[in-house]
Amino acid sequence: MAILHVLHVFGGPEGGGNALGVVLDGDAVAPGERQRMARDLGYSETVFVDNPAAGHVQIFTPATELAFAGHPLVGTAWLLERHGYPADVMRPPAGEVPARREGGLSFVAGRPEWAPRFSWHQLGSPGEVDALSAPERGLEAFWAWADEAAGRVRARVFPRDLGIEEDEATGAAAVVLGAELGRPLEIHQGRGSLIRVSPRPDGLIEIGGRVE
């Protein structure tokens, strides 16, 4: 029987964090059953670990499989380390994703072209972001500067085409915004989530935060 670990990734000072399901013994769930299980669980993503020592994983939303996703890889790397695995490289279908832990936080680094094709829209103020209604379809993301000098961003993300009405914290979208703005960011998303973003010299965008 598969054991499901439930994590919260990218929690901020006032709570938040995106729920994540992780099955460390991925072999216990047949490949043909994984999408159905992810749909039944209803988390924004569910991860199946096929080789914990090497970091080989599959990632599913309720509607589809993803080649790369941020909060699932951040959370799974954290969980693998707690179970005694190196977890310094995660290997989703997109490619090799460097991972590290520092100061109680977990980080991964990815390429913006690996992410689903989110459409980012800049608004004039955090209040405008808060007042949004969910679009009916698409992969729509909205942001505004909360403090441009400090790199603080207020954001909401609506990945309707992935089977998610609104995401509490979206690491892959944060990779895209970090690449577009080209600077370190603190993205405050959803009800209280916090994603730290930092472009690296090698072209990867690192994202990280708290995992519980």
Share of the chain above pLDDT 90, in %: 96
Would you state the pLDDT for residue 16? Answer: 82
Would you state the pLDDT for residue 14? Answer: 79
Tell which CATH classification among 3.10.310.10, 3.90.420.10, 2.40.50.140, 3.30.160.620 matches the domain 4-94. Answer: 3.10.310.10
Q: Give helix 70-82 / helix 171-181 axis angle, nearest 10°.
A: 120
| CATH 3.10.310.10 intervals, the chain | 4-94, 114-211
Is 158 exposed, middle or buried, given 0-12, 13-18 or 19+ CB atoms closer than 10 A? buried
Q: Where are the alpha helices (DSSP H) in the chain?
A: 31-41, 70-82, 126-130, 171-181
For residue 119, list its beta bridge partners. Answer: 140
**Nearest alpha carbon to residue 171 among 185, 151, 161, 152:** 185
Any idea which residue has 């399901």 for tokens? Answer: 21
* DSSP label at residue 2: P
Residue-wise pLDDT tens digits, 170-192 = 999 999 999 999 999 999 999 99
**Nearest alpha carbon to residue 155 among 145, 88, 52:** 145
Query: Which helix or strand (DSSP H or E) is residue 140 part of?
Result: strand 139-147
**Please, are residues 22 and 45 in contact by the beta-carbon 8 Å criterion?**
no
Determine the average pLDDT of the residues in 92-100. 98
Cβ neighbors of 201 (< 8 A, separation 6 or more) are: none
Residue-wise pLDDT tens digits, 119-175 = 999 999 999 999 999 899 999 999 999 999 999 999 999 999 999 999 999 999 999
Would you state the pLDDT for residue 115? Answer: 95
Would you state the pLDDT for residue 193? Answer: 97
Determine the average pLDDT of the residues in 196-204. 97
Q: Which residues of 160-184 are buried (b: 16+ CB within 10 A; e: fewer)?
A: bebebebbbbbbbbbbbbbbebeee
Separation CA 95–CA 72 (nearest Å): 15
Residue-wise pLDDT tens digits, 39-84 = 999 999 999 999 999 999 999 999 999 999 999 999 999 999 999 9
> What spatial distance separates the first Cα and last Cα of the chain, rounded to whole Å?
24
Asked: is 114-211 a CATH 3.10.310.10 domain? The reply is yes
Angle at CA 32, nearest 5°, toward 31 and 33? 90
